[in-house]
Amino acid sequence: MLVPIIMAGGSGTRLWPLSRSLYPKQFLPLTSDSSMLQETVHRLSGLKTSFPVVICNEEHRFIVAEQLRNDSTLGKIILEPEGRNTAPAIAIAAHLVSQGEDPTLLVLAADHVIADSESFITAVKNALPLAESGKLVTFGIVPTSAHTGYGYIKRGEEIGTGFSVEQFVEKPNVTVAEEYLASNEYYWNSGMFLFKASRYLDELRKHRADIADACEAATENVVRDLDFIRLDEEAFRACPEESIDYAVMEQTEDAVVIPLDAGWNDIGSWSAMWDVADKDNDGNASAGDVLHHNSKNCFVHSDGRFVATVGLEDVVVVDTKDALLVAAKDSVQDVKAVVSELKKAGRSEFKTHREVFRPWGKYDSVDFGSRYQVKRITVNPKAKLSVQMHHHRAEHWVVVSGTAKVTNGDETFLVSENESTYIPVGVIHALENPGKVPLELIEVQSGGYLGEDDIVRFEDNYGRCNEAS
């Protein structure tokens, strides 16, 4: 059995302001109408696999569930209470999917672009006999340039459809990268793997028994919660942090590399987005309502407003509802420094968008002041917000479209389009969409404190009674 293991952790800081801590790049539709996670799942259609197993952060669980459910591919979702890098994550997945069997694991990242899916499928099929014979296969990207942002894999002797791995090397400088490219003996390290679950666990125990022991302990008392699998939190937090490259692939004698030439890109920066995007005759790539005049080789993304460039060259502009990035294209790797400064300053822009997704739908904070906030709320059909109350704010709800089922204190009633209701401070209330179309309403909050942590939940369909958001 071939089991896809999709790693969907990470914060994608280099793609700020579109990618935020609570809604990072793997969940964004960057290259199509589907998110990168969904594109990763679609890519598997040419293979005979089980439903994918996704490993993600606790705070992203509802995003993953919703995107997989919309795609009719909901499998296991393993929640990491804290990131511990790829070696422990894969070990956890290997334990949980084995259950008396020994499946072959196809380990993928949720945030890669692969333009040629057929070549990817062919490479996986070519790698299967090697993996089933006990080899630990990695996929090496045939390099198209002397890239200094990737690690490299040096191939050795030919083995079946691949090559033994002679050496893993760190990100080189330009001179060394050019030598690698000219030799035709090196590949970019993609971070994608194929191996039997038992072989990976055996090699991990051989080379990093401390990680192996911690991961085994973390899977002994898992808890199933809705679509999610929760690990033994204490045991997992005790696990050392390490990548699969350092823990296993650089140590094992059975590493094999399969060349992959399929238009791969890890979308690690805005310049990488420019690389994969469609461009006009002047090399400009655009998303949204954008006009270029006498501009060349620019990347412009607008989430709503009209954006015009005049006389620009090699510039990146990313405009969202609450933040604007303007950067030289050759300096976009430094965007992560902006995110660090925002985090240090305690600003919300590093963490959340103005539009925030919840398991029941989403809300957009369209205006706010010292004692008021206005939100546009969308509730999915048949979805319900938690039964809750607030200590410091009152709320006024105005239905724009659809029908709301409202609990306001001891009363439960319907509120239709152009009707409203008022929720006083301290009153227990709930909001539900009983209909078949999305419910849209405007919420006006007023009070001395309007933070999202002023929520006391009494009942919740999503297991969030002890959470503040």
Give me the chain's average pLDDT, please.
94
- 174-208: string of b/e by CB count within 10 Å (b at 16+)? eebbeebbeeebbbbbbbbbbbbbebbbbbbbebb
Crossing angle of helices 209-218 and 86-98, in 10° steps, is: 50
Task: Kindly tell me if the per-residue pLDDT of 308 is higher than 80.
Answer: yes
Banded model confidence at residue 466, pLDDT cuts 50, 70, 90: low
Name every residue whose Cβ is closer than 8 Å to that of residue 436 and which is 6 or more positions away in sequence.
Answer: 381, 382
Average pLDDT rounded to a whole number, residues 340-352: 95
Q: Which of 108, 80, 44 is nearest to 229 (CA)?
A: 80
CA pair distance 447, 434, nearest whole angstrom? 29
What would the mean pLDDT of 65-91 be, rounded to a whole number?
87
Instruction: Please compute the mean of the pLDDT values over residues 226-250 and round it to a whole number.
Output: 94
Question: Quick check: 157 pLDDT over 70?
Answer: yes
Which whole number is the average pLDDT over 151-171? Answer: 96
Whether the model clears a pTM of 0.85, i.e. scores above it, the answer is yes
The amino acid occupying position 405 is K
- Which of 58-72, 231-245, 357-371 comes out lowest in average pLDDT? 58-72
Q: Quote the CA–CA distance of 361 and 380 in Å, as a whole number.
A: 5
Taking residues 247-269, report their average pLDDT.
Answer: 96
Predicted pLDDT of residue 53: 95
Note the helical H segments in 222-326. 233-237, 244, 270-276
Q: What is the rounded distance in angstroms from the CA atom of residue 325 to the CA atom of residue 466?
A: 36
pLDDT at 380: 95
The pLDDT score that the predictor gives to residue 226 is: 75
Distance between CA atoms of 62 and 40, rounded to whole angstroms?
18
Q: What is the mean pLDDT of the segment spanning 391-418? A: 97
CB-side neighbour CA atoms (13 Å) of 235: 18
Tell me the pLDDT band of 72, cut-offs 50, 70 and 90. Answer: low
The amino acid present at 301, given as its one-letter code, is H
Q: Which domains does the chain have, with CATH numbers?
A: 2-265 (3.90.550.10), 270-338 (no CATH), 355-459 (2.60.120.10)
Which tokens hold the place of 413? 């009633």
431 pLDDT more than 90: yes
How does DSSP assign 33-55, residue by residue? SS-HHHHHHHGGGGS-----EEE
Give the chain's radius of gyration (CA, Å). 24
Q: What residues form DSSP beta bridges with 317?
A: 300, 326
Percent of residues, the chain, with pLDDT higher than 90: 90
Percent of the chain with pLDDT strictly greater than 70: 98
Question: Has residue 467 got a pLDDT over 80?
Answer: no
Give the integer Cα–Cα distance in Å for 448 and 391: 10
> In the predicted model, what is the mean pLDDT of residues 441-450?
97
Which pLDDT score is estimated for 252? 97
pLDDT band at 73 (very low <50, low <70, confident <90, very high): low
Q: Is the pLDDT of residue 469 over 60?
A: no
pLDDT score of 131: 98
The mean pLDDT of 254-277, rounded to a whole number, is 96
356 or 215: which carries more pLDDT confidence?
A: 215
pLDDT recorded at residue 71:
65
Q: How confident is the model at residue 100 (pLDDT cuts 50, 70, 90)?
A: confident
Q: Is residue 51 predicted with pLDDT exceeding 80? A: yes
pLDDT grade, residue 292 (50/70/90)?
very high
pLDDT of residue 2: 96
Token pair in block for residue 121: 């499928």
pLDDT-derived band of residue 74, with 50, 70 and 90 as boundaries?
A: low
Only one residue has tokens 């094999």, namely 256
Average pLDDT rounded to a whole number, residues 15-44: 95
pLDDT tier for residue 10 given thresholds of 50, 70 and 90: confident
With 70 as the cut, is the pLDDT of residue 468 above it?
A: no
For residues 226-239, average pLDDT: 92
**pLDDT at residue 448 is higher than 60:** yes
pLDDT for the residue 463? 79
pLDDT band for position 267 (50/70/90)? Answer: very high
DSSP codes, 95-109: HHHHTTS-PEEEEEE
Q: What are 406's two structure tokens?
A: 């409202």
| Cβ atoms of residues 68 and 60 within 8 Å | no
The answer, yes or no, to whether the previous bond of 424 is cis (omega within 30 of 0) is no
- In this model, does residue 12 exceed pLDDT 90? no
DSSP secondary structure code for residue 336 in this structure: H
- DSSP-assigned beta bridge partners for residue 259: 140
Give the range among 55-59, 199-203, 306-310 with minimum mean pLDDT.
Answer: 55-59
Is the pLDDT at 21 greater than 80? The verdict is yes
Tokens found for residue 60:
């992203």
